[in-house]
Amino acid sequence: MKYKRILLKLSGEALMGDQSYGIDINRVAQYARDIKEIHSSGIEVAIVIGGGNIYRGLSAEKAGMDRVQADYMGMLATVINSMALQDALEKLDIKTRLLTAIKMEQICEPFIRRRAVRHLEKGRVVIFGAGTGNPYFTTDTAASLRAIEINADVVLKGTRVDGIYTADPLKDPTATRFDEITFQDVYNRGLNVMDMTAFTLCQENKLPIIVFDMNKPGNLARLANGEPIGTLVRE
């Protein structure tokens, strides 16, 4: 086991599976099985999920909606996704706690750092919902922030591609993948790993990021065991 405590960032779009909108229950179940595998090996797992499969604040702003209003709607979308993943994990007999940055006492606990850490120490999977609770901040930034707050060893960014490439591999067939890259190199090359706020938070706090393909079953477990999966971003 290479890591003791990880923060897993999942994009909302990833939960769509092959659909164009909403939540694919089979995809969520696959993620839950992968998470169970690393959790069973003794790794403490915290999770942040995006909301793009349900609602995207930035797109709504372009359509003329007030940005702050749109961002809050996006935060609520992440809570819906978090509840879906919580249900899938609990079906596999994993104790989970959903902590949100916006108070919703009927369905989850408010985010309190010490409480989150205590849950992790007790072996519960902790899901952080509602982003940072502030408009203008992405769920990537929420993931970086929460990872730093709970002293995670690494941010694992689960995506649909198997790492960071020189260009978009879906558009450019000549694009090559990095096994490892420094934060500075990402800046210099203008690569899109996370938004700048999230990325800079990780850099300043010397928190490594690994970008990997979460849709391939077993990848998460191999990564947790120290296999070179995806792309590692470090100092």
Provide the pLDDT for residue 63: 86
CA nearest neighbour of 16 among 58, 54, 55 = 54
pLDDT at 173 over 80: yes
Tokens matching residue 149: 């707050």
Q: Which of 145, 175, 173, 138 is nearest to 50 (CA)?
A: 138
Please compute the mean of the pLDDT values over residues 44-55 and round it to a whole number.
96
**Given this model, what pLDDT does residue 100 score?**
98
pLDDT digits (tens, 9 = 90+) for 125-157: 999 999 999 999 999 999 999 999 999 999 999
Asked if residues 141 and 198 have their Cβ atoms less than 8 Å apart, the reply is yes
d(CA 66, CA 101): 21
Question: In this structure, which topology does domain 5-234 adopt according to CATH?
Answer: Carbamate kinase (3.40.1160)
What letter does residue 171 receive in the DSSP assignment?
Answer: T
Distance from C-alpha of 52 to C-alpha of 43, rounded to nearest angstrom? 28
CA distance 6 to 153: 6
Chain-centroid distance of CA 27 in Å reads 15
- Residue 169: pLDDT band by 50, 70, 90 thresholds? confident
Read off the pLDDT of residues 191-231 as tens digits, 9 standing for 90 and up: 989 999 999 999 999 999 999 999 999 999 999 988 999 99
Q: Are 138 and 195 in contact (CB under 8 A)?
A: yes
**DSSP summary character for residue 111:** P
Q: Is 140 left (phi over 0), alpha (psi -120 to 50) or beta?
A: alpha
DSSP state, residue 193: S
pTM listed for this prediction:
0.96
- 1-17 tens-digit pLDDT: 789 999 999 999 999 99
Residues in the chain: 235
pLDDT in tens, 78-125: 999 999 999 999 999 999 999 999 999 999 999 999 999 999 999 999
Q: Which SS3 state, helix, strand or coil, does residue 136 take?
A: coil
Specify the 3-state DSSP secondary structure of 90: helix
Helix (H, G, I), strand (E, B) or coil at 66: coil
Residue 8 φ then ψ, to 5°: -100, 120
| Single-letter code of the amino acid located at 84 | A
Give me the pLDDT at residue 38, please. Answer: 97
Q: What is the mean pLDDT of residues 33-53?
A: 97
As a whole number of angstroms, the distance between CA 211 and CA 164 comes to 7
Confidence of residue 37 (pLDDT cuts 50, 70, 90): very high
Residue 28, classed as helix, strand or coil, is: helix
Q: Are the beta carbons of 57 and 71 closer than 8 angstroms?
A: yes
Would you say the C-alpha torsion 205, 206, 210, 211 has a positive or negative sign? Answer: positive
Provide mean pLDDT across the span 21-44.
97
pLDDT on residue 36: 98
- In this predicted structure, the answer to whether residue 58 has a pLDDT above a threshold of 80 is no
Is residue 61's pLDDT more than 90? no
